Structure 1
Amino acid sequence: MKNICVFGLGYIGLPTAAMFAHHGANVIGVDVNQHAVDTINQGKIHIVEPGLEAIVKKAVDNGNLKASLTPVHSDAYLIAVPTPFKGDNHEPDLSYIQAVSKALAPLLEKGDVVILESTSPVGATEKMVEWLAEERSDLTFPKYHEPDVEADIFVAYCPERVLPGKVVEELISNDRIIGGMTKESTKKAQEVYRIFVEGDLLATNSRTAEMAKLTENASRDVSIAFANELSIISDKLDINVWELIELANHHPRVNILQPGAGVGGHCIAVDPWFIVNQNPDEAKIIRAAREINDNKPNWVIEKINAEVNKLKEQGSEKPTVALLGLAFKPNIDDLRESPAVNIAKKMLKDTSANILLVEPNIKQLPESLNSGKLSSLQEAIDTADVVAILVAHDEFEGLDLSDKSVVNFVTNR
């Protein structure tokens, strides 16, 4: 398994490609973004991830990693492309996986390994196999209900389980779930990941692996929803939620998470809906958690507007509000499904206040926020009347906000 092709060079695909290359594999990374391809081939990265750029540079300089707009034949193919929603019912959009399947199919030869990493609804790996088989009737492909039957192509589902900001470390150390369409597919996929993974490679089938990834993030979503709901209840009862949680967590069997402005990122904010979409009558707790977390930004906006209205009552015609943080979690540049972005969008449409947006990890605002202004932290602190801390970036630690109206949604500091 020395030649590997990775489709998708984003927050997961690029670090994964770099890890394989760093450990001696010859890797072609494929992406539709010309800027990303050019940047990587210069030994640089187009995302923020600690420790990654040095690994990419070394791999590129050594000739083990190359980015391209088109794939080449390899021993193993990894697919790490987006799986967003389509429509209003949180229906998974598998069009990116379908597009990769059509691009990949002509390259396949007997004995090749195809691994889907994209977070997907249960059955997505089987759907991918259908698309591949439609293009290559000359090859045999594995069937989920025939785990012992050999096929020409080995197919598995192997979800990533890494934390943004620690991807380089966790790709190597974390256990991996290896869900083959057949037992032999599982073994072949294990051989691929053993190139660099030091954690356990946990064998199962493709459907269980798909559901495991969704289950992990749904479980976290439910726990966060409890904390977020608790913060809303505590506010209504005039209780300091941070103190409340700290006290409750002294119980030896209680571990309540910290509330925030909502839930973001491509995983926790998305994956539970895949379960709900496929099981609308059964997934009651999972749906409720998603609705609580999706609605938290609206509550945050209400709290910010309450401070704005206080200032207006005191004679301020149009107060200035600084929103600190746009990423979905601290100290990264990833804005996907970020509740802070959702808050910013809605507040920019409201003309009752001037809005300043602060995100130290990006250089320009996304198109969805192009009506706003990306400000430096210092400018925002100097000019804002209301400061809302939405993300716990290190840069926001220990700020002197004694002369501001402050609404802090991330921590008790």
Structure 2
Amino acid sequence: MDVSAGNVEAINDGQVPFVEPGLREVLQRAVAAGMLSASTQTPSADAYIVAVPTPFTEGHSADLSYIEAAADGIAPKLTGGELVILESTSPPGATEHMAERILKARPDLSAGDLLVAHCPERVLPGRIMVEMITNDRIVGGLTVEAAQAAKVLYENFCTGEVLLTDAKTAEMAKLTENSFRDVNIAFANELSVICDQLGIDVWELIGLANHHPRVNILQPGPGVGGHCIAVDPWFIVDAAPEAARLIRTARETNDAKPEWVLGRIEQALEHHGREATVALMGLAFKADIDDLRESPSLSIAERLAERAPEARILAVEPHIEELPKSLAQASNVSLAGIDQALGSAQVLVLLVDHGQFKAIDPARLAGHTVIDSRGIWR
């Protein structure tokens, strides 16, 4: 079930409305075999898996309205004994909130009539079709019976270990995993700023430091994006604002990195002239996908379009066919190919380490001002 009629139509036609290696083939087989259909209306079922967005508000609190809408769609269909799973990354207590909302809409049912659990997804975009199967899964039930029922369901396709706990711990586990990544990326991003001030190649430095047997520094970039790492730590901060000091600082460090990259671009424009052509290489939040959610690269493009109206901005993103709405309305931004960017831009800004960009002959970069936030054109 999806609220987007376009997504429903695409799925029923065997088409994937986004880029994910291997998914289209599996989808087409399932649809052709009559094992999968999509609808804009919630059907009756024995088990429901809720996988909806959980963005944060301006105050960095979790917006649970999508979960609530899903619960409202499920509630009228229940007869008792159904399994309801929340997969959406959520703050502690969200699964219980979903269950309470369902039961409030159905006073004829009691808590014992439903099996409610939280099973956070733990996959990497670009590897979902592998990791959905092989990764270990955490299953947290509001009751022991709910956790066991969810475990049985996931063991239909998971070869990884299915680990049982309570719902609140399962919710916190996913937030902890992404906050761990965020804190470590923040260390790398802070190092990159320090090294720039000191005239040190941060990628060489990290490579040398990582030869220590107990050091594994991650790679810096233009910021942190996506629907997980850039969002989830705020849920911990919101739940325990006084205690989550390191997690908050890491988020602020990563959120500040796009502004630092913008400063480098503006320096280049001062050198070439405000009417120079700037090619922004990549808009997605990570390599080789088309997902723009919370993308620092997209944020850089939006801010640059506003702050440098005289500049001609070429957005080079090989995984999309049209600019997102936030850029399409900017008169100085256009979607361009790699050859056009290399042929006409004075400033090349590497924001996403797509495979197509890694394959560019280094000789073609000569004569350009290159700002490489990923370290692939060093």
Q: Distance in 2 between matches of 1:412 and 1:255?
A: 19
Residue 330, structure 1, aligned to residue 287, structure 2: yes
Any conservation in 1 of the 2:224–2:255 contact (CA below 8 Å)?
yes
The equivalent position to 2:353 in structure 1, one of 392, 399, 410, is 392
- SS of equivalent to 1:155: strand
Give 1:46's aligned residue: 17
Any conservation in 2 of the 1:109–1:153 contact (CA below 8 Å)?
no
Residue 154, structure 1, aligned to residue 115, structure 2: yes
Q: Distance in 1 between matches of 2:82 and 2:107?
A: 15
Q: Distance in 2 between matches of 1:397 and 1:203?
A: 42
- SS of equivalent to 2:140: strand
Give 1:27's aligned residue: none
Q: C-alpha offsets along residues 314-334 of structure 1, whole Å, 9 cap, x if unaligned?
A: xxx611000000000000000
Residue 197, structure 1, aligned to residue 158, structure 2: yes
The equivalent position to 1:244 in structure 2, one of 205, 213, 222, is 205
The equivalent position to 1:187 in structure 2, one of 139, 148, 163, is 148
Give 2:59's aligned residue: 89
Deviation at 1:311, TM superposition (A): 1.7
Residue 101, structure 1, aligned to residue 65, structure 2: no
- SS of equivalent to 1:323: strand
The equivalent position to 1:340 in structure 2, one of 297, 300, 323, is 297
The one-letter code sitting in structure 2 at the alignment partner of 1:360 is: P
Tell me the TM-score normalized by structure 1.
Answer: 0.88
- SS of equivalent to 1:357: strand
The equivalent position to 2:183 in structure 1, one of 217, 222, 245, is 222
Q: Distance in 1 between matches of 2:310 and 2:193?
A: 24
- SS of equivalent to 2:31: helix
Q: Distance in 1 between matches of 2:159 and 2:110?
A: 32
Tell me the TM-score normalized by structure 2.
Answer: 0.97
Q: C-alpha offsets along residues 193-237 of structure 1, whole Å, 9 cap, x if unaligned?
A: 111111000000000000000000000000000000000000000
The one-letter code sitting in structure 2 at the alignment partner of 1:344 is: A
- SS of equivalent to 2:214: coil
Any conservation in 1 of the 2:358–2:376 contact (CA below 8 Å)?
no
Residue 353, structure 1, aligned to residue 350, structure 2: no
- SS of equivalent to 1:66: coil
Residue 177, structure 1, aligned to residue 134, structure 2: no
Q: Distance in 2 between matches of 1:352 and 1:44?
A: 40
Give 1:34's aligned residue: 5
Residue 234, structure 1, aligned to residue 234, structure 2: no
Q: Distance in 1 between matches of 2:106 and 2:353?
A: 50
- SS of equivalent to 2:163: strand
Deviation at 1:73, TM superposition (A): 1.0
Deviation at 1:398, TM superposition (A): 3.8
The equivalent position to 1:404 in structure 2, one of 368, 371, 376, is 368
Q: Distance in 2 between matches of 1:307 and 1:405?
A: 7
- SS of equivalent to 1:67: coil
The equivalent position to 1:296 in structure 2, one of 257, 261, 264, is 257
The one-letter code sitting in structure 2 at the alignment partner of 1:58 is: R
Q: C-alpha offsets along residues 280-319 of structure 1, whole Å, 9 cap, x if unaligned?
A: 111000000000000000000001111121223xxxx611
The equivalent position to 1:111 in structure 2, one of 81, 87, 100, is 81
Q: Distance in 2 between matches of 1:134 and 1:92?
A: 21
Deviation at 1:93, TM superposition (A): 0.6
Q: Distance in 2 between matches of 1:294 and 1:135?
A: 39
Deviation at 1:352, TM superposition (A): 4.2
Q: Distance in 2 between matches of 1:92 and 1:251?
A: 39
Deviation at 1:108, TM superposition (A): 1.0
- SS of equivalent to 2:212: coil
Q: Distance in 2 between matches of 1:188 and 1:343?
A: 45
Q: How many residue pairs align between the two structures?
A: 370
Q: C-alpha offsets along residues 323-370 of structure 1, whole Å, 9 cap, x if unaligned?
A: 000000000000000000000000000224211101000011111111
Any conservation in 2 of the 1:242–1:412 contact (CA below 8 Å)?
no
Residue 58, structure 1, aligned to residue 29, structure 2: yes
Q: Distance in 2 between matches of 1:139 and 1:345?
A: 49
Any conservation in 2 of the 1:218–1:268 contact (CA below 8 Å)?
yes
The one-letter code sitting in structure 1 at the alignment partner of 2:69 is: A
Residue 132, structure 1, aligned to residue 102, structure 2: yes
Residue 320, structure 1, aligned to residue 320, structure 2: no
Deviation at 1:164, TM superposition (A): 0.2
The one-letter code sitting in structure 2 at the alignment partner of 1:288 is: T
The one-letter code sitting in structure 1 at the alignment partner of 2:198 is: L
Q: Distance in 1 between matches of 2:339 and 2:204?
A: 30
Superposition misfits of 4+ residues, deviation over 3 angstroms: none
Deviation at 1:412, TM superposition (A): 4.1
In the alignment, structure 2 segments of 5+ residues that lack a partner are none
The one-letter code sitting in structure 2 at the alignment partner of 1:405 is: T
RMSD value over aligned CA atoms?
Answer: 0.9
Any conservation in 1 of the 2:226–2:293 contact (CA below 8 Å)?
yes
Deviation at 1:396, TM superposition (A): 0.5
Give 2:323's aligned residue: 365
Q: Distance in 1 between matches of 2:92 and 2:334?
A: 41
The one-letter code sitting in structure 2 at the alignment partner of 1:367 is: K
Deviation at 1:380, TM superposition (A): 1.2
Q: C-alpha offsets along residues 87-106 of structure 1, whole Å, 9 cap, x if unaligned?
A: x2111110011011111001
